[in-house]
């Protein structure tokens, strides 16, 4: 298989792009990239939908989680109109921005190395992975309901520009320990779970290189869900999470449940924030389910 047209979408105004000269690095890639620069929030979605509709084989999101998420929405809107998944435009990513968890999942961790992922993208191969939805929003890597989303909400652009990935840790110190509304989580079997926070993973990674969802597989048709059972989420609960990840076993966790489900509905007595792929996505109630079609990913 070979690609006839690969396009790259990137935000030239992003601090990481300017500071690292990353726009110039993308322009220097060979074979040369067809680059489209965004002009405002939401423009990446419009570009991705238009380029995919016009027949681009691969749309590459060059940036962090926010850019990947915006590109994904437009790409999937175009793909949803094509009944044959083998004709769908594929997604690629070049890791830049504050964080790009999906690039980490694919094995590309350095924000300074575009050559390796570009070589993989231009190799002309695609793999198929599960694509998920949180209500009507697509996501591909992870989601969170509760304190996790509140951390995302509290991590402003100013914080990210000043502290980079450490900005999320600063926000976490402000959010963790606060009382939270209890979430009711129902799986298709009718079984219910309760807790203050739910982390959901399609892939293994959460927050960058950390393999939190130990049993996850991006093409098994299941979401891995970690439920924090207590009424609030603090240092003790996260210490339990770290311990379970390190030993690779959640079975004996006192504060956590580890679920593997094809779908899950999460409700709460008052609205609780939801994030997908590191970006805010409304509030509860939220239904997480597989999209009607898979996602093609350009990766060797």
In which residue ranges of the chain is CATH 2.60.200.40 found? 139-292
pLDDT, tens digit (0-9, with 9 covering 90-100), for 223-276: 999 998 876 666 667 677 767 766 677 766 778 889 999 999 999 999 999 999
186 in Cβ contact with 265 (< 8 Å): yes
- Can you give the pLDDT at residue 168? 62
Average pLDDT of the residues in 175-186: 81
CATH 3.40.50.10330 fits 6-124, yes or no: yes
- Can you give the pLDDT at residue 107? 86
pLDDT, tens digit (0-9, with 9 covering 90-100), for 127-164: 999 999 999 999 999 999 987 777 777 666 676 667 66
Label the pairing between strands 90-95 and 58-63.
Answer: parallel
98 in Cβ contact with 278 (< 8 Å): no
Percent of the chain with pLDDT over 90: 57
- Can you give the pLDDT at residue 234? 61
In which residue ranges of the chain is CATH 3.40.50.10330 found? 6-124
105 in Cβ contact with 194 (< 8 Å): no
Q: What are the angstrom distances between the C-alpha of 229 and each of 56, 199, 209, 255, 258?
A: 45, 12, 25, 6, 11
The structure's pTM equals 0.88
pLDDT, tens digit (0-9, with 9 covering 90-100), for 36-86: 999 998 999 999 999 999 999 999 999 888 899 999 999 999 999 999 998
- Can you give the pLDDT at residue 256? 87
- Pick among 3.40.50.1980, 1.20.200.10, 3.40.50.300, 2.60.200.40: CATH of 139-292: 2.60.200.40
- Can you give the pLDDT at residue 19? 46
- Can you give the pLDDT at residue 267? 97
- Can you give the pLDDT at residue 196? 87
- Can you give the pLDDT at residue 298? 94
């Amino acid at each position: 298989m070979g690609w006839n047209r690969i396009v790259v979408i990137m935000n030239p105004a992003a601090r990481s792009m300017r500071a690292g000269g990353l726009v110039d690095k993308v322009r220097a890639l060979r074979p040369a990239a067809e680059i489209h620069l965004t002009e405002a929030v939401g423009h990446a979605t419009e570009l991705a939908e238009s380029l995919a509709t016009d027949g681009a084989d691969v749309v590459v999101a060059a940036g962090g989680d926010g850019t990947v998420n915006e590109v994904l929405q437009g790409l999937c809107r175009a793909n949803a109109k094509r009944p044959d998944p083998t004709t769908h435009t594929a997604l690629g990513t070049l890791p830049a921005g504050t964080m790009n968890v999906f690039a980490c999942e694919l094995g590309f961790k350095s924000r300074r190395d575009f050559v390796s992922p570009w070589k993989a993208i231009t190799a002309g191969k695609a793999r198929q992975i599960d694509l998920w939805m949180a209500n009507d929003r697509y996501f591909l890597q992870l989601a969170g309901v509760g304190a996790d989303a509140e951390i995302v909400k509290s991590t402003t652009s100013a914080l990210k520009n000043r502290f980079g990935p450490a900005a999320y840790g600063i926000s976490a110190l402000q959010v963790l320990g606060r009382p939270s509304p209890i979430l009711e989580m129902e799986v298709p079997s009718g079984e219910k779970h309760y807790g203050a926070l739910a982390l959901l993973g399609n892939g293994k990674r959460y927050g960058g290189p950390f393999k939190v969802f130990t049993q996850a597989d991006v093409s098994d048709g299941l979401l891995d869900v970690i439920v924090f059972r207590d009424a609030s989420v603090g240092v003790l609960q996260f210490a339990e999470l770290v311990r379970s990840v390190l030993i690779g076993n959640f079975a004996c966790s006192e504060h956590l449940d580890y679920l593997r489900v094809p779908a899950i509905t999460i409700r709460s007595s008052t609205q609780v924030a939801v994030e997908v792929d590191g970006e805010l996505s409304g509030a509860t109630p939220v239904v997480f389910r597989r999209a009607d079609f898979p996602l093609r990913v350009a990766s060797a």
